[in-house]
Amino acid sequence: MDEATTTALLQAVAAGAVTPAEAAQRLKRLDVEDVGFARIDHHRSLRKGFPEVIYGSGKTPEQIATIAERLAAAGQTVLATRCKGADFEAVRERVPDAVYHPVPRCIVAVRASPPRAPGTVLVATGGTTDIPVAEEAALTAELTGSTVERLWDVGVAGIHRLLANRERLLEANALVVVAGMEGALPSVVGGLVDRPVIAVPTSIGYGAAFGGIAALLGMLTSCAPGILVVNIDNGFGAGYAAGMINRMAGVTGP
Amino acid sequence: MDEATTTALLQAVAAGAVTPAEAAQRLKRLDVEDVGFARIDHHRSLRKGFPEVIYGSGKTPEQIATIAERLAAAGQTVLATRCKGADFEAVRERVPDAVYHPVPRCIVAVRASPPRAPGTVLVATGGTTDIPVAEEAALTAELTGSTVERLWDVGVAGIHRLLANRERLLEANALVVVAGMEGALPSVVGGLVDRPVIAVPTSIGYGAAFGGIAALLGMLTSCAPGILVVNIDNGFGAGYAAGMINRMAGVTGP
Amino acid sequence: MDEATTTALLQAVAAGAVTPAEAAQRLKRLDVEDVGFARIDHHRSLRKGFPEVIYGSGKTPEQIATIAERLAAAGQTVLATRCKGADFEAVRERVPDAVYHPVPRCIVAVRASPPRAPGTVLVATGGTTDIPVAEEAALTAELTGSTVERLWDVGVAGIHRLLANRERLLEANALVVVAGMEGALPSVVGGLVDRPVIAVPTSIGYGAAFGGIAALLGMLTSCAPGILVVNIDNGFGAGYAAGMINRMAGVTGP
Amino acid sequence: MDEATTTALLQAVAAGAVTPAEAAQRLKRLDVEDVGFARIDHHRSLRKGFPEVIYGSGKTPEQIATIAERLAAAGQTVLATRCKGADFEAVRERVPDAVYHPVPRCIVAVRASPPRAPGTVLVATGGTTDIPVAEEAALTAELTGSTVERLWDVGVAGIHRLLANRERLLEANALVVVAGMEGALPSVVGGLVDRPVIAVPTSIGYGAAFGGIAALLGMLTSCAPGILVVNIDNGFGAGYAAGMINRMAGVTGP
Amino acid sequence: MDEATTTALLQAVAAGAVTPAEAAQRLKRLDVEDVGFARIDHHRSLRKGFPEVIYGSGKTPEQIATIAERLAAAGQTVLATRCKGADFEAVRERVPDAVYHPVPRCIVAVRASPPRAPGTVLVATGGTTDIPVAEEAALTAELTGSTVERLWDVGVAGIHRLLANRERLLEANALVVVAGMEGALPSVVGGLVDRPVIAVPTSIGYGAAFGGIAALLGMLTSCAPGILVVNIDNGFGAGYAAGMINRMAGVTGP
Amino acid sequence: MDEATTTALLQAVAAGAVTPAEAAQRLKRLDVEDVGFARIDHHRSLRKGFPEVIYGSGKTPEQIATIAERLAAAGQTVLATRCKGADFEAVRERVPDAVYHPVPRCIVAVRASPPRAPGTVLVATGGTTDIPVAEEAALTAELTGSTVERLWDVGVAGIHRLLANRERLLEANALVVVAGMEGALPSVVGGLVDRPVIAVPTSIGYGAAFGGIAALLGMLTSCAPGILVVNIDNGFGAGYAAGMINRMAGVTGP
Amino acid sequence: MDEATTTALLQAVAAGAVTPAEAAQRLKRLDVEDVGFARIDHHRSLRKGFPEVIYGSGKTPEQIATIAERLAAAGQTVLATRCKGADFEAVRERVPDAVYHPVPRCIVAVRASPPRAPGTVLVATGGTTDIPVAEEAALTAELTGSTVERLWDVGVAGIHRLLANRERLLEANALVVVAGMEGALPSVVGGLVDRPVIAVPTSIGYGAAFGGIAALLGMLTSCAPGILVVNIDNGFGAGYAAGMINRMAGVTGP
Amino acid sequence: MDEATTTALLQAVAAGAVTPAEAAQRLKRLDVEDVGFARIDHHRSLRKGFPEVIYGSGKTPEQIATIAERLAAAGQTVLATRCKGADFEAVRERVPDAVYHPVPRCIVAVRASPPRAPGTVLVATGGTTDIPVAEEAALTAELTGSTVERLWDVGVAGIHRLLANRERLLEANALVVVAGMEGALPSVVGGLVDRPVIAVPTSIGYGAAFGGIAALLGMLTSCAPGILVVNIDNGFGAGYAAGMINRMAGVTGP
């Protein structure tokens, strides 16, 4: 439950739209809610500015749906990543307004909207096959309050495709650069802009790509300063951090 | 040559303190200066907000000194990392006001000062042996215009040492968290704050630490969102990015 | 055949309930029973305090069922790990009272019960997806005579969830801490308690988690003393050792 | 400061041997003492039963000596591992009764003695070259209150050397088994005893030993149940945990 | 075509049972037979004492069948390893007397029988799940003229199972020891016998077994002299070499 | 659009067969064509001598078909690698004359033919199972204008099979040598010829072949000079480079 | 002994400058010369177009000097790589006109000069620290008959430094691109030119650069076609192959 | 103490040259002699046909000398591998007739000579730098009773050097093939002979040779049957096993 929601709840109580008992019930859930197989960290949205996100891989549809239901019931936006169609079916039964995004494989149900950040986050990919990871980043950044620019298939083997978009690169407050194979794109982008570049290696490639290790190592050892790296295929983490950085523009201190 | 320097130069010309010919000479150097073994990217401070930094390892003292001299001559701040005493001796002959910082092993000669960013960057370490890397980060962040808070030896094996400093963590605009061995500190810090956490794995440890691989993998797979990772022992890169993020606070858009 | 069973058998002979010939036959099996594809180590329960455990993976249902039958026939408790439904079908035909535990994927048929140890074993997980491995540990510790406390989803990204359970941690004689991804939970727990912490890395995670390697390395290089590590996903081994340690409380010497 | 020391301090106050002000000073140090480059966790001996141990590698002699001095001043036993002669010289100037153990390369200054545990810890090695790591384990177990049996050079290539000592193996409450190369000794020992076996891989060997990786992997995948593994060359961690387990014998519950 | 076959062919010509033209045709095939996708090395049986063996994995059933047919037509024994049922169906249509061995997944059609070697090859396994690889070794050794002793499930966690068979170990001219997980069995066997021990790591195990790497490294770094290692799961190679060594007993020189 | 096509287009305009507007439209496409999920680099054939090639793996059939259609519409030859049957179905609907090569799994639709290079490229394999990768190389070299000689199954275990073809090796302008397992063939070939040898490791093999790593490392560390290596299974890259080298014969300068 | 030398020798015989006996002696050496610790492959210059090259690392100065002496005595150019000063001292005593190149650490004594190839080889580096490897490549290419263009410090973090030299890239017949860290430079260069690009990863970098592995993997998985890779730091191999390719320009067939 | 020594001792007693008490003393030592830091396995020569060998690396000169003295005193041949000059100085003081072999870095003192085996062991190397490892193998084979043929520098890049020695290869009873870099030599040799080939990878090479891993993997995945592999640089193990195999020729059964 983020601050806006807390304020809204208290205003609703003042206005008589919510009884104090109901409000108390909701606030109590702010702490940790134990549902047996999970302890839902309702407090996180207060601490981190965004609710706990459900990592769907390895959880049963039933588990995903239960957590989604409790988050939604607490007035928190639901974001579940790495979900299959069966996961969505289970969630939709409990959270009817949930929506499935098939390319990034995410389930979303928006509740409290975060304030819009003034600038933009640019998400770029080296190739077409990097798009699912990039869309996970873009969706996450959007949900956390940022406007997102998408720039697909600007890999370094045809450097003119990237350079033709130099202006768009320079306009962003934070950049997420998604690439597989040798993962060279963040180095080139990082040499052109003066804002943080979050590099996302993808598992695209074969042989010595080693499921994203080549790209990961390339990004970690980039000769361009200011490159920050997340895990292989971790579009969510990149979008989350990019949104966090973008929200800082306009902020005047701690 | 950063914007402030360019402006100052032009004002000096207007004031007659610098001849147009001399100014033209200096501006020409803005492009790339070829010194045989290197092409100094004088243009970088304009593009990236900070001049090219000299990575000392693998360069001869003569090479380091030559690049430092040209940067200083162009009115750009010199920062050379991973330098030994012999490197410093060579630099001092050409840039007499250069200073050596023995803990992070850096050579510095300040020229144009960047504008001070309003907030702070916090640099924390898991242990005492991580301090050299952390000081490289802190020094870099300071040179790029940020105020730095230092918090040493707050590793997770004595979690009360970290929790006792929770307020300081919450006050920073960007956090650099430096840890070796299992590298768990960024995960715990990342769960407490709503600002970007830049995780720096160090090569501290033995056996299965594998020269920092254990910490690196741990940071990449952190269960806390918003963790961004740089290369093993890359204090410079972390401090650079943290300063970049901190400078964004107060900025109102692209 | 553990000591209790041996004593019970001899008492049964004394009471005339079992013929000496039948008892001799059973005792002979105590050594090693060769069933062609396996040599069943009936002697192990005497040596180790618990019968041989069947590792189901890679064995045919027929092989698992044959070994289970012989163990049960010798009065020994059957525990088969990593078993599929088809394995259970084969076992149930020969050992009708066998039970299948679907979450940890174990087959159990209790015969001689070990003496109850006085204290407790605590089994904790970092997340929901670690539960199957944790349940394998818990089931094993219970079968070997320990009372087990379960504490799910207390990962370090929300450290307050763990600290709220500090008392339960301190009450255990031995702790099994199960975590994937960066595997940081054992380090934090190890800093809070003065009993052995058995760390179990899980294969949960993606990318640089490398199927549990990140967690494994993190646990091996933990900065907290007293952390002992088992193989990735080896809930059985952790539960077995934790039970062994817990049984030592109350023991007065060799 | 362990419990015995706390009690002794309070008795000394009662007896007038220590002034209340002095005692208060000492107790205040129980929390965390910030010496700039380190936060000494004086509270650890209360939490963990043994004071913070100094990991010498990567620290300067000056840093080691400062921490040792503060621990000793607080009445806590000093144990510093992985120390060179120069480290010892620095420590001895501040803690004159400190002793250097050259084989395990440890510095020790005993203050408050822990209560003696009733049983024994057995430390065994596969070969002669494993002895330094084994002595680190033995010394640690002794300092934490256990009697230690040493059994050197009983590797599996001459299995009769081990079997001839079977009785000694069976008498121990906890076993530390140290081996390099293929690291097979813990598996064989683990099949013979019913107490926890702590396996320590060493970096002994060449080629495919990969600095201890072969032994580490072998111990993690041991076919004998009840094997618990620590980091390569981590004699300290093994001795610490073995002492912790041995102290449990005679304990009657939490 | 091995020597016996060549001799038999020439005798058949002498006896008029084969025309010289037909014999010439067969002998010509001794060189290399090009079937488009493969060059069958008919000469190998003369050079190596056994015909070319078909490695089935990655070949189509049609390709396997074609090579098998040509070998059989040239009077050479067919051995195809790593074959599925569909491969066998294709072979049987062309070589009707071919037989499928399901446990080691081999197809065999015996033609010229090699001379029997006087001694025996012993094949042992650490566990039940190693049997398929061990049977591939045993079958290969038998086809190349050796008598094979099988000793299953004598892993080191119950060392008495191995020691009870010490006599059988000492009687063999060559030993093939097959083990997964930590792969410690060859070290113990190698310490007991004075004949070559061929160690075969298997991909049995999970987690840090890394598909046989743990066993492979353990065997390569064995502290027992005289251990020779083949690839993970390479039963064929081990049986082939063991047969080759066994055939040497009785030989009196080059 | 390669030079020949450009010239042909202009001649067609001169001849009135194509309107200037249509030609302008086609030429405009020479730059980059944005189809949403991809930026087709029509300029590449001019820069590199061959159009952009579609790497099919990870793309949807719809995406492959769209790119193929646009390339074909621009008069460029279509080559799509790593395609399944479903990919071909989608392409054929849009480019009816497309052809599927099942062994190398490539889709081809020839448009502008490159000029024939005078010499030949030889493609050799160590074994039968390497043929699919080798055919990808051969097909690519043929499409880019070279005549290709195929030499299958000449692995080093029967070195006479290779030496019997020494003349063919010496006649080629560039050699592509494809091998899995230990990948020794390029070293032997490289010692025999004075033209560049492009080594292609394949993922053929098991165990320590590690999906082609053994062959890759072997080729990179070859003791024969002049060996150039491409990624595991990268037949396309090898054939592309071999064709490029072969086209240089007859060229008289830049 | 290359063809030119052979011809020159025969002409000298015809002219009476060399006796037939002396010539016969020299020609006999063409085969293999056994000097005890080495078999010098004098035949190689005929087969490969350049004499055997001495890889100095791991050889004693005495061994290097002996081989150099024999090569020089046979009229063959001496190139010894990876040599220290002591190696050169030993060589100079036997081959007085030998020259030491300290940057690439090579010893050279020119004998028969190969014919000059018409075009040029371009050698480029990402940074200053890559120059020693690049100079090894340049020296080798020069010795084998090519003119070499050098282009230092054009790494991708300042892409304008590379693009400013686009014309020079396009003029070369073969390109050697040397880079450490993430090794991205060959991908960008490969996208700009239509000639073979030989990528040389260097061991420059730290942490996740893993001694050149990051660069190696990046180059192997490059998204630009026509990239060919040699071993880490293998400047010699790259220069050798580039020279071989450059010599092909002007050649009209096999 | 091998059989010949035992017999000789008993004959000496019968002849009165040794007193029964002295003989009893010597025989008692046959079991295991505990010298504190080591348990000398005097029984090994009886079990394995050769005494325990001292692996010098990691042992102090004092430790090596003590073990050597005890072995020599028991009439057993001393072989200590991986010894430095200082080790030899210490040994020579206690075993005056000890000899140091500098190339393989071994200390030898011959006592009881094993019977000579009838055939020969051939030891071959790929290059000059492999000779130290090969000499360790050759020395070991000689000490254990075999005649050794040496064949240096016959690597596959000049295959004619090997083929010119084909006869020598065919004459050996066992072959040790030592090679670094890509380690291809055993595959080629293995295709030519019908005797066991023991492949020894060496740590020779750089970059992707990874200290012998490339050669090790290449040998393990060899396409030639009958290749047996030992650890990187393990000349001792290879020579030991080759001698063992060679001794079998002439043996008529178990």
CB contact under 8 A, C182 and B184: yes
- Asked if pLDDT for residue C26 goes beyond 90, the answer is no
- Asked if pLDDT for residue B62 goes beyond 50, the answer is yes
pLDDT of residue A246: 95
List the subunits that have 3+ CB pairs under 8 angstroms with F: A, E, G, H
Asked if the C-beta of H164 comes within 8 angstroms of chain G's C-beta atoms, the answer is yes
Provide φ and ψ at E202, rounded to 5°. Answer: -115, 165
Q: How distant is the Cα of A66 from the closest Cα of chain B, in angstroms? A: 20
Give the list of residues 6+ apart from residue H16 with CB closer than 8 angstroms, or none: none
Q: At C224, is the pLDDT very low, low, confident or very high (cuts 50, 70, 90)? A: very high
pLDDT of residue H24: 66
CB contact under 8 A, A244 and B216: no
pLDDT of residue B196: 96
Q: Pick the residue with more confidence: A48 or D96?
A: D96
Q: Determine the average pLDDT of the residues in F6-14.
A: 74
Q: How distant is the Cα of D208 from the closest Cα of chain H, in angstroms? A: 6
Asked if the C-beta of E47 comes within 8 angstroms of chain C's C-beta atoms, the answer is no
Place of tokens 């959007």: A142
Confirm if B246 and B174 have CB atoms less than 8 A apart.
Answer: yes
Asked if the C-beta of G134 comes within 8 angstroms of chain A's C-beta atoms, the answer is no
Chains F and A touch (3+ CB pairs under 8 A): yes
CA-nearest of B227, A83, F61, A238 to C182 is B227
CB contact under 8 A, F126 and H158: no
Q: How distant is the Cα of A92 from the closest Cα of chain F, in angstroms? A: 27
Q: Determine the average pLDDT of the residues in F135-150.
A: 97
CA-CA-CA-CA torsion for D95, D96, D102, D105, nearest 10 degrees? 0
Mean pLDDT for all residues in chain A:
90
Q: At F251, is the pLDDT very low, low, confident or very high (cuts 50, 70, 90)? A: low
pLDDT of residue G174: 97
Asked if the C-beta of C248 comes within 8 angstroms of chain E's C-beta atoms, the answer is no
pLDDT of residue E113: 78
**Which segment of B100-104, C19-23, C176-180 scores lowest on mean pLDDT?**
C19-23
Q: What is the rounded distance in angstroms from the CA atom of residue G163 to the CA atom of residue A223?
A: 17
Pairing of strands B106-109, B99-101: antiparallel
| Helix, strand or coil, per DSSP, at residue F206 | coil
Give the whole-number percent of chain D exceeding pLDDT 70: 92
Asked if the C-beta of D45 comes within 8 angstroms of chain C's C-beta atoms, the answer is no
Q: What is the rounded distance in angstroms from the CA atom of residue E220 to the CA atom of residue E227?
A: 8
CB contact under 8 A, F203 and A207: yes
Interior/surface letters E184-202, b for 16+ CB within 10 angstroms, e for the rest: bbbbbbbbbbbbbbbbbbb
pLDDT of residue B1: 46
Q: Determine the average pLDDT of the residues in F29-53.
A: 80
Could you count the other beta carbons within 10 Å of the beta carbon of residue E10?
13
CB contact under 8 A, F232 and A204: no
- Asked if pLDDT for residue F28 goes beyond 80, the answer is no
Based on the number of CB atoms within 10 Å of its own CB, is B189 exposed (0-12), middle (13-18) or buried (19 or more)? buried
Q: At E6, is the pLDDT very low, low, confident or very high (cuts 50, 70, 90)? A: low
ipTM value for the complex: 0.88
Which residue in the set E118, E198, E221 is minimally distant from H228, CB to CB?
Answer: E198
Select the residue from G169, G178, G185, G187 to test the A interface by mutation, using most A Cβ atoms within 10 A.
G187
User: Which residues in chain G land under pLDDT 50?
Assistant: 1, 252-254
Asked if the C-beta of G127 comes within 8 angstroms of chain A's C-beta atoms, the answer is yes
Residues of G in contact with F192 (CB under 8 A): 47
Q: At D254, is the pLDDT very low, low, confident or very high (cuts 50, 70, 90)? A: very low
Asked if the C-beta of A237 comes within 8 angstroms of chain B's C-beta atoms, the answer is yes
Mean pLDDT for all residues in chain C:
90
CB contact under 8 A, G230 and F228: yes
Residues of B in contact with A231 (CB under 8 A): 220-221
Q: Determine the average pLDDT of the residues in B205-217.
A: 96
Residues of D in contact with H232 (CB under 8 A): 206-208
Please enumerate, as own/partner, the contacts of B208-211 that have beta carbons within 8 Å and a separation of 24 or more. B208/C216, B208/C217, B208/C220, B208/C221, B208/D216, B208/D231, B208/D232, B209/B180, B209/B181, B209/C217, B209/C221, B209/D231, B210/C217, B211/G207
Based on the number of CB atoms within 10 Å of its own CB, is B60 exposed (0-12), middle (13-18) or buried (19 or more)? middle
**Residue G101 in tokens:** 């190149």
Residues of A in contact with B196 (CB under 8 A): 196, 241, 244-245
Chains B and F touch (3+ CB pairs under 8 A): no
Indicate the angle between helix axes G61-73 and G85-94, nearest 10 degrees: 40
Q: Pick the residue with more confidence: A138 or F39?
A: A138
**Which segment of C41-50, C87-96, D64-73, D239-248 scores lowest on mean pLDDT?**
C41-50
Q: What is the rounded distance in angstroms from the CA atom of residue E63 to the CA atom of residue E55?
A: 11
pLDDT of residue D46: 67
Residues of B in contact with C218 (CB under 8 A): 182-184, 214, 217-218
- Asked if pLDDT for residue D250 goes beyond 70, the answer is no
Domains parsed from chain H with CATH numbers:
3-109 (no CATH), 120-252 (3.40.50.1970)
Residues of F in contact with H199 (CB under 8 A): none
Give the chain A residue whose CA is nearest to the CA of F235: A207
Residues E24-55: pLDDT tens digits? 666 655 567 888 899 988 777 767 778 889 99
pLDDT of residue B15: 81
Asked if the C-beta of C143 comes within 8 angstroms of chain D's C-beta atoms, the answer is no
List the subunits that have 3+ CB pairs under 8 angstroms with H: D, E, F, G
Asked if the C-beta of B68 comes within 8 angstroms of chain D's C-beta atoms, the answer is no
Residues of E in contact with H50 (CB under 8 A): 225
pLDDT of residue F252: 44
CB contact under 8 A, E208 and C232: yes
Write the single-letter amino acid at C175: L
Residues of H in contact with G211 (CB under 8 A): 207
Q: Determine the average pLDDT of the residues in A235-242.
A: 97
Give the chain G residue whose CA is nearest to the CA of H103: G60
CA-nearest of E164, E175, E174 to E125 is E175
CB contact under 8 A, C58 and E129: yes
Residues F45-71: pLDDT tens digits? 767 778 889 999 999 999 999 999 999
pLDDT of residue H47: 73
Q: What is the rounded distance in angstroms from the CA atom of residue G121 to the CA atom of residue G137?
A: 10
pLDDT of residue A163: 92
Q: At C218, is the pLDDT very low, low, confident or very high (cuts 50, 70, 90)? A: very high
Q: How distant is the Cα of D42 from the closest Cα of chain B, in angstroms? A: 10
- Pairs of CB atoms within 8 A across E/F: 51
Residues A28-56: pLDDT tens digits? 555 678 888 999 887 777 677 788 899 99
Q: What is the rounded distance in angstroms from the CA atom of residue B59 to the CA atom of residue B79?
A: 14
For A115, which DSSP code? P
Residues F151-203: pLDDT tens digits? 999 999 889 899 999 999 999 999 999 999 999 999 999 999 999 999 999 99
- Pairs of CB atoms within 8 A across D/H: 52
Residues E179-236: pLDDT tens digits? 999 999 999 999 999 999 999 999 999 999 999 999 999 999 999 998 999 999 999 9
Q: What is the rounded distance in angstroms from the CA atom of residue B34 to the CA atom of residue E8?
A: 80
Residues of C in contact with D220 (CB under 8 A): 216, 229-232
Q: At H249, is the pLDDT very low, low, confident or very high (cuts 50, 70, 90)? A: confident
Q: Determine the average pLDDT of the residues in D133-149.
A: 97
For E102, which DSSP code? T
> Strand pairing partners for E123?
E150, E176
Q: At H226, is the pLDDT very low, low, confident or very high (cuts 50, 70, 90)? A: confident
pLDDT of residue G167: 92
Place of tokens 């001219």: E173
- Asked if pLDDT for residue E67 goes beyond 60, the answer is yes
Give the list of residues 6+ apart from residue D223 with CB closer than 8 angstroms, or none: D187, E126, E127, E155, E156, E157, E181, E182
Asked if the C-beta of B253 comes within 8 angstroms of chain A's C-beta atoms, the answer is yes
Q: How distant is the Cα of F17 from the closest Cα of chain H, in angstroms? A: 57
Asked if the C-beta of F80 comes within 8 angstroms of chain G's C-beta atoms, the answer is no
Q: What is the rounded distance in angstroms from the CA atom of residue B190 to the CA atom of residue G44?
A: 62
**Which segment of C76-80, C178-182, H6-10, H67-71 scores lowest on mean pLDDT?**
H6-10
Residues of G in contact with H153 (CB under 8 A): 37-39
Q: Pick the residue with more confidence: B248 or F122?
A: F122
Chains F and C touch (3+ CB pairs under 8 A): no
Q: Determine the average pLDDT of the residues in E143-172.
A: 94
Residues D98-129: pLDDT tens digits? 999 999 999 999 997 788 888 999 999 999 99
**Which segment of A133-142, D22-31, E157-166, H183-192 scores lowest on mean pLDDT?**
D22-31
